[in-house]
Chain A
């Protein structure tokens, strides 16, 4: 067995007085899909941001493919770790194609024709080849998020981070994004996903991590956590999610 792709050891992060992450430990093998759940303010987004160093950890070590991320060039690290945002954060002045191309040209140094070809491929992969020349404001939220995923994929990341990718979307648009994510999981992409979509977690996740108050309270395969959680807090939280989802879709 080779080293894990990602290993997080005793990760700590504070904002001012408030300690948001208080010693996080976990590992991800290649092709793993791990889903992070937990109440708001439990530190899920901060955890993701520490992995690609959009936030600098205060303490602890994170290694990617055996390499200490703290010692890596931050831009090089981010090229290897893709990120999909809650608010899409598409570049508003660029078409879908150009959104995907920017990193290929400016970070990976592809030629014009390589860039063109690769951007086309990635948009096709998320089912948006026909919208390549649309600007973000001309796309629906679901389409924008799929462009966001294509933009991250174009960098050939070893690991893809999703920060609540569907929580800014209208319910009827969530499905198209989740199905793209499901396909990526099937293709063997390693993914660390913050989401409250139980259906996605149940079907795609290899592991589910329940984060509470800056620590991982409980972890395990989704069926185990959903059916027999050890902690009362986990149970309450998941029950509330189930009720919410039933209310939303029913």
Chain B
């Protein structure tokens, strides 16, 4: 009957047949991340396979194609920067997330806490990220404080102090942006459901926890994807507080050999690969947690516009 048909609506499986473009994409992703993984392992353990920053194969192997030889020569150093880019992004979004939940909850359900949350969110969203990093790094001198902590800068696995400052900055920043996405998602859950939860005797907190949040978190995924992409790109600003992430490395190599275009194109490709991976993963996540019978938000919008 009509209501049963919708079950098959959201499926992406094309009856076991493989889409050649999708297969190519998966292969490319496996190659890229496999190579990155090996590079990182190599560098963390002080040159497991080759010397730190040196290509697995000598660039001269690719002399027939100068662009490729160039890429092979400098990609290893950029790969080390990609590690920090990925680290900053993941830490920013992961640590910002629980703070964002509290902020969004306060913003929607709080009384006095609503104003505290609003103030925080507006202040962070109303000032440039670079200025925030300056406050933490130069203004508060956080880095010299972190330098005193045990292990920092001496044990190779623990990143140096500037990285810590950047992680704190991105967490503070991302919490505010994620809170706004979450607030929108919470407000899009029909309030009647919370009323129904209260009507069977659940407390306000339990109603939010078991009924509102599970849905709001799903609705927040598109916003969350935006935030992830934002962080990948804006983690480049950590360069200005000395963090040797992807952009910083490309920039400092270019200042030696003046091949700006080539290096930034290479770095751009890395950023593109990160962004594509991120959007792909969140899109898969969204499909996986989709509520049967309910169209995904972008599909709903599309339907409405037709």
Contact = CB atoms under 8 A, between A and B. Distances in A.
Contacts of B197: 91, 102
A91 B196 contact: yes
Interface string A147-187: 01001101100000000000000000000000000000000
B293 A76 contact: no
A54 B195 CA distance: 8
B1 to A, nearest CB: 9
A115 to B, nearest CB: 13
B291 A92 contact: yes
Nearest to B204: A75
A89 B193 contact: yes
A152 B218 CA distance: 26
Contact of B202 (A77, A93, A106, A138): A106
Interface string A101-134: 0110011000000000000000000000000001
Interface string B188-226: 011011011111111100100011001100100000000
B47 interface: no
Interface stretch (B3-11, B30-38, B75-83, B112-120): B3-11
Contacts of B214: 93
B193 A78 contact: no
B231 to A, nearest CB: 27
Interface string A67-88: 0000000011111001101010
A107 B202 contact: yes
A89 B196 contact: yes
A85 B291 contact: no
B200 A151 contact: yes
B40 to A, nearest CB: 38
A137 B200 contact: no
A155 B291 contact: no
B98 interface: no
A209 B107 CA distance: 42
Contacts of B215: 91-93
Contacts of B192: 85, 87, 89
B294 interface: yes
Contact of B200 (A82, A134, A143): A82
B151 interface: no
B210 A102 contact: yes
A136 B189 CA distance: 14
B199 A78 contact: yes
B196 A75 contact: no
A107 B201 CA distance: 6
9 contacts: A54-B198, A78-B201, A82-B199, A87-B190, A89-B190, A106-B206, A107-B200, A137-B6, A137-B291
Given A93-B215, A151-B196, 13 more contacts: A75-B201, A78-B201, A89-B196, A91-B215, A92-B189, A92-B193, A92-B291, A92-B294, A107-B200, A134-B292, A137-B294, A138-B6, A152-B199
Interface of B: 3-4, 6-7, 189-190, 192-193, 195-203, 206, 210-211, 214-215, 218, 291-294
